[in-house]
Structure 1
Amino acid sequence: MKRALTLIGASILLASTTQLHAQSGDPRAGESLHKEANCLSCHTANPYSTAKTPSFERLIAAVSFCNVNLNTGWFEDEVLDVATYLNEKYYKYVIE
Structure 2
Amino acid sequence: MNTTHSSLRATALSRRPARARTWALGGLLLVGGLVLWTGQARAADMFQGADLALGQKLIDEHKCVACHTSKVGGDGSAIYKPQGKINTAGLLRGMVEMCNTNMNLGMFPEEVDAVAAVLNRDHYKFTK
- Whether TM-score is above 0.5 comes out as yes
Gaps of 5+ in 2: 1-34, 73-77
- Percent sequence identity over matched residues? 35
| Residue 40 (structure 1) aligned with residue 65 (structure 2) | yes
1:9-42 Cα distance to aligned partner (Å, 9 max, x none):
xxxxxx5x94682634111110000110001122
- Please tell me whether Structure 1 or Structure 2 has the larger radius of gyration of its CA atoms: 2
Residues 60 and 83, structure 1, Cα contact 8 Å, conserved in 2: yes
More moved, 63-72 vs 41-50: 41-50
User: Against the structure 1 CA distance between its residues 22 and 29, is the aligned structure 2 distance closer, same or farther, given a 3 Å change threshold?
Assistant: closer
Which structure has greater helix proportion?
Answer: 2
1:32-64 Cα distance to aligned partner (Å, 9 max, x none):
001100011221231412532111100000000
- Report which structure shows greater RCO (CA 8 Å, sep ≥6): 1
Q: In structure 2, what is the Cα distance between the partners aligned to 1:68 and 1:54?
A: 21
Which letter does structure 1 place at the counterpart of 2:117? T
Hey, which bits of structure 1, 4+ residues long, moved more than 2 A?
17-20
Among 60, 73, 96, the alignment partner of 2:106 is 73
SS of corresponding position for 1:71? coil
User: Against the structure 1 CA distance between its residues 39 and 61, is the aligned structure 2 distance closer, same or farther, given a 3 Å change threshold?
Assistant: same
Which letter does structure 1 place at the counterpart of 2:121? E
Cross-structure match for 1:30: 55
Cross-structure match for 2:13: none
Q: In structure 2, what is the Cα distance between the partners aligned to 1:33 and 1:22?
A: 16
Q: In structure 1, what is the Cα distance between the partners aligned to 2:113 and 2:47?
A: 11
CA RMSD of aligned residues (A): 2.2
Gaps of 5+ in 1: 1-14
**What is the number of equivalent residue pairs in this alignment?**
80
Q: In structure 2, what is the Cα distance between the partners aligned to 1:38 and 1:81?
A: 15
